[in-house]
Chain A
């Protein structure tokens, strides 16, 4: 840990913007110039939109320009539509949107596969950079993943074997055998 007390005389531009009048309420400094309250400004031209736009219920009119990226679709879109019935102040509004985002990831993979594209998830996650700059980390992660996968498979196989060997099942078989 280095302590480096800096000599301000060596800093180019030191104090260039020092201003004792720096109003702590800036930039709300032009409030007094307002003639009227509310949505009274001269509005820009309204953009025509031919896709579905979800709008905050806290707006009483649509803003003049609109982003047109990725309109809502699928099940995640249905959740988003429901979320937008609630205000920005409602926690559920945001939690529903987060839920929709997660579902949308699955929809994205299905969409890729539907187009005949198998997503290269390691590449999308930057595995090449990890390999180049953090080989040990990548190997550790791969080992942990492999270990967890193996453990899961072993646990599931053991449970299946146990289920197959249940005495109840054997008794049922034994009971049913004489009837045949």
Chain B
């Protein structure tokens, strides 16, 4: 089969790889119909996540047709068209039992701090991902959901990560009706976080980025007030002025370690890799949230450490909330929102690319060329 093959930072290609096999009684093999490149794949692509081995296949946002199932799989059968959450979750451990499907304790040998994730380095379990024609799906009875007949597969594939991650960012904000919510990052997750903030009753939603075409999209899609931080002298002072000097009720970091906007953080975190990425978005979030407010973090950082103003977290009495999205927990509500027309995930898709052109798709997305917001790969044709 054809599969994406990581060759090093900023280098990927498509190669012939062996077909995946059933390795566990709860496994399924899925023929991939759609697979996205996620903003967090760019952290891998940029060489920021430790233990990203050459030869790995990325891809944690995908849907496809079940081809084979293991003997302990009860809920799926060959031929089912399923969306597969990015979390690999057993459904039985202490964490899965609490709905923390992103923190499963039975899916990642290499680290305890994060559960298994498809195609997201050995730090997240060493699983090959869905940017391939076929993929092995462990715990097939737990995560995957049969796509309803009425649902567009383009919406379905975005339910595997982007939509629940953005929605959970807003949920973790504990938004009260009328709250002012600031979202840092106008990538797909930030857009969905901003859109979801309205669902929780926000009174005002502000999106910050420096890519103009994304801000233009956010202005109408979310819809939100948008600001380009490149045009603002001091982000925190600006946001204080926008909020009667008190700060926002909720700030959401939907950027993570690949941020721009501070030369020192870029040098230390992104170039020299002495930090787990550039944490300027989180820095701004902490300093521009109201005293007693909530900072919700869904942007991905590496496992080491970052320079952030932790003293201000204490002094301002800020609640920090963060997690990998618990996709399975959120799916029923999000499916309902799509059916009711409250969210329109597929509108974020800007590029549809054959698997063979994956190197160009990664570069396009990484370099923000051609108005790229969300690229979708078609590993087995349209």
Which residues of A are interface residues toward B (Cβ below 8 A)?
1-6, 8, 11-20, 22, 24, 26-31, 34, 39-45, 47-48, 53-56, 58-59, 62-70, 72, 76, 80, 84, 88, 91, 94-95, 97-98, 100-102, 104-105, 107-109, 111, 119-121, 123-130, 132-134, 137
**B interface, by DSSP: helix, strand, loop or mixed?**
loop
In the complex, B364 has a CB within 8 A of chain A:
yes
| Nearest 5 CB-CB pairings of A with B | A126-B363, A13-B342, A67-B126, A18-B201, A105-B8
**Which partner residue on chain A sits nearest B302 by CB separation?**
A94
Task: Name the one of A14, A41, A62, A91 contacting B199, with C-beta atoms under 8 angstroms.
Answer: A14
Contact yes or no, B360 A129, CB < 8 A: yes
In the complex, B261 has a CB within 8 A of chain A:
no
In the complex, B271 has a CB within 8 A of chain A:
no
Q: Which residues of B (106-151) have their CB < 8 Å from a CB of A?
A: 106-113, 116, 122-123, 125-128, 138-139
Q: What are the residues of chain A within 8 A of B57 when measuring CB–CB?
A: 69
**Which partner residue on chain B sits nearest A20 by CB separation?**
B176
Question: A15-B201, A17-B200, A17-B333 are known contacts. Are A63 and B108 too (CB-CB below 8 A)?
Answer: yes
In the complex, B77 has a CB within 8 A of chain A:
no
Q: How far is the CB of B246 from chain A (nearest CB, A)?
A: 18
Task: Name the one of A59, A67, A109, A133 contacting B370, with C-beta atoms under 8 angstroms.
Answer: A133
A/B pair count, beta carbons within 8 Å:
258
Contact yes or no, B111 A88, CB < 8 A: yes
Q: What are the residues of chain B within 8 A of A56 when measuring CB–CB?
A: 109-112
Question: A1-B231, A70-B56, A88-B112 are known contacts. Are A124 and B12 too (CB-CB below 8 A)?
Answer: yes
Q: What are the residues of chain B within 8 A of A45 when measuring CB–CB?
A: 24-26, 72
Contact yes or no, A97 B50, CB < 8 A: yes
Task: Name the one of A65, A84, A121 contacting B90, with C-beta atoms under 8 angstroms.
Answer: A65
Interface size band for B: 35 or more
Q: What are the residues of chain B within 8 A of A98 when measuring CB–CB?
A: 50, 273
Pairs across A and B, CB under 8 Å, 15 listed = A15-B177, A26-B172, A27-B329, A31-B98, A34-B94, A43-B92, A53-B126, A67-B109, A69-B55, A104-B8, A124-B359, A125-B10, A126-B360, A126-B362, A132-B370
In the complex, B7 has a CB within 8 A of chain A:
yes
Task: Name the one of A41, A58, A62 contacting B92, with C-beta atoms under 8 angstroms.
Answer: A41
- CA–CA, A42 and B173, complex, Å: 33
Contact yes or no, A108 B201, CB < 8 A: no
**Which partner residue on chain A sits nearest B52 by CB separation?**
A101
Contact yes or no, A108 B231, CB < 8 A: no
Question: A27-B99, A125-B10 are known contacts. Are A130 and B340 too (CB-CB below 8 A)?
Answer: no
Q: What are the residues of chain B within 8 A of A43 when measuring CB–CB?
A: 92, 106
Question: A24-B319, A66-B126, A125-B10 are known contacts. Are A6 and B26 too (CB-CB below 8 A)?
Answer: no
Question: A1-B227, A69-B53, A126-B364 are known contacts. Are A13 and B369 too (CB-CB below 8 A)?
Answer: no
Contact yes or no, A64 B7, CB < 8 A: no
**Which partner residue on chain B sits nearest A87 by CB separation?**
B112
Contact yes or no, A134 B109, CB < 8 A: no
Q: What are the residues of chain B within 8 A of A47 when measuring CB–CB?
A: 23-24
- CA–CA, A45 and B141, complex, Å: 14
**Which partner residue on chain B sits nearest A58 by CB separation?**
B112
Q: What are the residues of chain A within 8 A of B27 when measuring CB–CB?
A: 65
**Which partner residue on chain A sits nearest B48 by CB separation?**
A98
